[in-house]
């Protein structure tokens, strides 16, 4: 089960990429972010810790990092499954797009999972628009 938000931006991949790969720039668009630590460089296999407002610290693993193209991480939630957060920069027909995806992975999906995922995804469009505003300055 997943939700995706995609918007066109007037910026290069190189200008967008630091908003994913540099932890200090994440505070620009993740408004409820209180703390973010990468245990190494932004690359596949690196782990980290994230603290969001009114939430416990969460460990995550970068499961797919392709410089200037894709940053995906995974957080395991006991009793719920795994949350995957995808951040892709794609080019189509000469245009650049930012695509954010939130995906819930678990063996058996339940009706309550839809509401949970909606809640997790709720601030994604605003976050993407913050990045867009920053890179188009």
What share of the chain has pLDDT > 90, as a percent? 88
Using alpha carbons only, how large is the chain's radius of gyration in Å? 15
Question: Cα(109)–Cα(63) distance, rounded to whole angstroms?
Answer: 22
- 23 SS3 class: helix
Structure tokens at 104: 């819930």
Beta-ladder partners of 5: 100
**What CA–CA distance (Å, rounded) separates 107 from 55?**
25
Q: How far is CA 47 from the centre of its chain?
A: 14
Q: What are phi and psi of 39, to 5 degrees?
A: -90, 55
Backbone angles phi, psi at 122, to 5 degrees: -50, -40
Q: Which domain holds residue 29?
A: 2-135
* CATH classification of the domain holding 86: 3.30.530.20
Residue with the bigger pLDDT between 39 and 55: it is 39
Domain count, the chain: 1
- Binned at pLDDT 50, 70 and 90, residue 79 comes out as confident
| pTM for the full predicted model | 0.94
d(CA 42, CA 39): 9
């Amino acid at each position: 089960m997943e939700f995706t938000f995609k918007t066109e931006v007037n910026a290069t991949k190189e200008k967008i990429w630091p908003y994913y790969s540099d932890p200090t720039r994440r505070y620009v668009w993740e408004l409820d972010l209180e703390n973010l630590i990468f245990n190494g460089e932004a690359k596949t296999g690196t782990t980290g810790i994230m603290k969001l407002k009114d939430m416990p610290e969460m460990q995550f693993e970068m499961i797919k990092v392709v410089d200037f193209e894709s940053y995906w991480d995974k957080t395991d939630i006991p009793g719920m499954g795994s949350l995957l957060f995808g951040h892709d920069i794609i080019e189509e027909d000469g245009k650049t797009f930012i695509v954010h995806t939130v995906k819930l992975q678990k063996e058996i999906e339940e009706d309550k999972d839809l509401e949970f995922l909606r809640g997790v995804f709720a601030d994604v469009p605003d976050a993407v628009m913050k990045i867009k505003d920053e890179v188009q300055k």
